């Protein structure tokens, strides 16, 4: 058999994670559901239980072939070797932190971290487990980060670009510093997905909300933790199982199905996203567009150096003279954009972020009210026409 890792991304998405000849020729895997796994003897039972932290069929909670096929495919997409699927992206974030942190440890979290992760850090890690949590400016250089290290620092957590505010991080430089000091480097790589290869840049554990582009159809909630080493995989898998983490096989199956079209969706949405982002950038009502692939955007140099593409999620900052109520009215006037959380599906979304950004190490002020846009699979010219009509509301006197 040729080495499948030599195949291009598009080819691997089509060929990996398939059941081979085990399903009488059907291309897609069967959907396995179940709790009890029967074994032929008491001895087999004792032997099997020893392997419950392996990718082994011992009990439903420990995963079945549907989970394992998805795990192997995700590990491949991220350039890692092993993966653990959990029930949501947020569960993956939390399990990753819990795998390496305990009473008295210290961790470093970017100020631009996904909001629910901040809540977890504040209420569970700091609030109940006596873990010291420091938030740092996401754009810190290694020289700026070094003074924040303590003798008990165990984890450097990264997310690039940041949630809502899209700051880019110098991942390889920060990860190199962390490694020198023996820290584990965890990264939420949901935005980068395949475009950022975390293990080429010093990351130990890469976290994905598969809910987003991997699922791709706004119909599943799922998360993953991918590792380069077997040791890290065991640490996250054991933690996931100790916490009773389980992912629905139906959602795993749907995500395997979603992944077959990931490459075409991503490429299409990247192009559409850039087209709409450029339209925003040319409008006089707009102060800045927070899209790392635009040459004027903050962090563009890092994106160009480290990423091979961009997804279709970005921010738009309106000039401060447009009050939040007017921006609200603009969003409410959109016909083709839904108002809602999450992203990565086929549908376009607009989400006001003013009033919902918490920052403790940097300023939440972007210079004006900001809206997060997700560009779906609609025709970009239709989306632009819709935005153009809604922009009239920015100038209308409020009713
Ligand atoms: C959505 C999101 C998550 C959480 O994913 P869920 O599956 O919704 O729990 C985590 N990180 C980032 C960056 C996200 O955007």
Element (DSSP H or E) covering residue 272: helix 262-281
Looking at domain 8-260, its CATH architecture is 3-Layer(aba) Sandwich (3.40)
Ligand 1 pocket: which of 86, 159, 212, 247 to mutate (most atoms <8 Å of CB)? 212
Kindly give the distance from the C-alpha atom of residue 38 to the centroid of ligand 1, in angstroms, as a whole number.
36
- In this structure, what token pair is assigned to residue 213? 């582009």
Contact 368, 322 (CB under 8 A): yes
Q: How far is the CA of 120 from the centre of ligand 1 (A)?
A: 13
The minimum-distance atom of ligand 1 relative to the CA of 212 is 1
Name the fold adopted by 263-395: 3.90.1150
Q: Is residue 166's pLDDT more than 60?
A: yes
Distance 318 CA to ligand 1 centre (A): 25
CA of 210 to the centre of ligand 1 (A): 8
* 263-304 pLDDT per residue, tens: 999 999 999 999 999 999 999 999 999 999 999 998 999 999
Tell me how far the alpha carbon of residue 209 lies from the centroid of ligand 1, in angstroms: 5
CA distances (Å), 359 to each of 161, 162, 237, 288, 398, in order?
Answer: 15, 12, 31, 20, 30
Give 157 Cα–ligand 1 centroid separation in angstroms.
15
Nearest CA to ligand 1 atom 8: 89
Which of 190, 215, 221, 374 gets mutated to test ligand 1 (max ligand atoms within 8 A of its CB)? 190
Mean pLDDT for 200-229 is: 98
Ligand 1 centroid to Cα of residue 355, in Å, is 19
Atom of ligand 1 nearest to the CA of 209: 5
Average pLDDT, the chain: 95
Question: Closest Cα partner for 216 from 10, 377, 388?
Answer: 377
What pLDDT does 6 receive?
Answer: 80
| Common-topology check for domains 8-260 and 263-395 | no
Alpha carbon of 90 to ligand 1 centroid (Å): 6
Distance, in Å, from the CA atom of 281 to the CA atom of 290, rounded to the nearest integer, reads 10
Query: pLDDT tens digits for 325-383?
Result: 999 999 999 999 999 999 999 999 999 999 889 999 988 789 999 999 999 999 999 99
Has residue 30 got a pLDDT over 90?
Answer: no
> Considering the chain, what percentage of its residues have pLDDT values greater than 90?
88
Ligand 1, residue 210: give the atom nearest the CA: 7
Q: Which atom number of ligand 1 is nearest to the Cα of residue 342?
A: 1
For residues 214-218, give the mean pLDDT: 97
Q: What is the pLDDT of residues 67-109, one digit of tens each?
A: 999 999 999 999 999 999 999 999 999 999 999 999 999 999 9
pLDDT band of residue 255 (cuts 50, 70, 90) is very high
Q: How many CA atoms lie within 13 A of 42 on its CB side?
A: 0
pLDDT band at 23 (very low <50, low <70, confident <90, very high): low
pLDDT confidence band for 22 (50 / 70 / 90): low
Phi, psi (deg, nearest 5) at residue 292:
-55, -20
Q: How big, in percent rounded to 5, are the helix, strand and coil portions of the chain?
A: 40, 15, 45
Q: Tell me which residues have their CB closer than 6 angstroms to ligand 1.
A: 88-90, 93, 114, 163, 188, 190, 209, 211, 221, 223, 342
Which residue's alpha carbon is at the smallest distance from atom 6 of ligand 1?
89
pLDDT, residue 21, reads 63
**What are the residue boundaries of the structural domains of the chain, listed by start?**
8-260, 263-395
> Which two structure tokens, joined as six digits, stand for 342?
């999450």
β-pair partners for 153: 106
First to last CA, the chain: 68
How many Å lie between the centroid of ligand 1 and the Cα of residue 181? 29
């Amino acid at each position: 058999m040729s080495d499948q890792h030599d195949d291009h991304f598009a080819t691997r998405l089509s060929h990996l994670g398939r059941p081979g000849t085990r399903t009488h020729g059907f291309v897609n895997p069967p959907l396995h559901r179940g709790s009890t796994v029967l074994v032929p003897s008491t001895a087999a039972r004792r032997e099997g239980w020893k392997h419950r932290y392996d990718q082994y069929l011992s009990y439903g909670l420990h995963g079945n072939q549907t989970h394992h096929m998805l795990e192997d495919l995700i590990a491949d997409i991220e350039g890692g070797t092993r993966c653990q699927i959990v029930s949501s992206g947020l569960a993956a974030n939390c399990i990753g932190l819990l795998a390496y942190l305990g009473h008295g440890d210290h961790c470093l979290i970017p100020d631009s971290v996904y909001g629910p992760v901040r809540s977890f850090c504040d209420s569970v890690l700091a609030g109940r487990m006596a873990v010291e949590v420091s938030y740092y400016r996401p754009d810190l250089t290694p020289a700026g980060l070094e003074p924040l290290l303590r003798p008990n620092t165990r984890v450097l957590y990264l997310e690039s670009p940041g949630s809502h505010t899209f700051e880019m991080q110098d991942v390889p430089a920060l990860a190199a510093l962390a490694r020198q000091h023996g820290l584990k480097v965890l990264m939420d790589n949901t935005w980068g997905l395949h475009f950022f290869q975390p293990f080429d840049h010093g990351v130990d554990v890469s976290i994905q909300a598969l809910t987003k582009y991997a699922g791709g159809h706004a119909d599943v909630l799922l998360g993953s933790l991918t590792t380069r080493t077997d040791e890290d995989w065991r640490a996250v898998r054991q933690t996931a199982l100790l916490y009773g983490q389980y992912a629905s096989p139906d959602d795993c199956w749907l995500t395997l199905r979603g992944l077959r079209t990931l490459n075409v969706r991503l490429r299409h949405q990247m192009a559409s996203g850039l087209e709409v982002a450029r339209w925003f950038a040319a409008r006089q009502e707009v102060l800045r567009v927070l899209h790392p692939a635009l040459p004027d955007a903050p962090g563009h140099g890092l994106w160009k150096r480290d990423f091979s593409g961009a997804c279709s999620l970005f921010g738009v900052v309106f000039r401060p003279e447009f009050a939040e109520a007017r921006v609200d009215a603009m969003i409410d006037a959109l016909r083709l954009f839904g108002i809602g959380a999450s992203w990565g599906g086929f549908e376009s979304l607009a989400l006001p972020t003013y009033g919902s950004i918490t920052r403790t190490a940097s300023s939440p002020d972007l210079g004006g009210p900001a809206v997060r846009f997700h560009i779906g699979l609609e025709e970009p010219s239709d989306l632009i026409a819709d935005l153009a009509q809604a922009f009239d509301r920015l100038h209308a006197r409020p009713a």
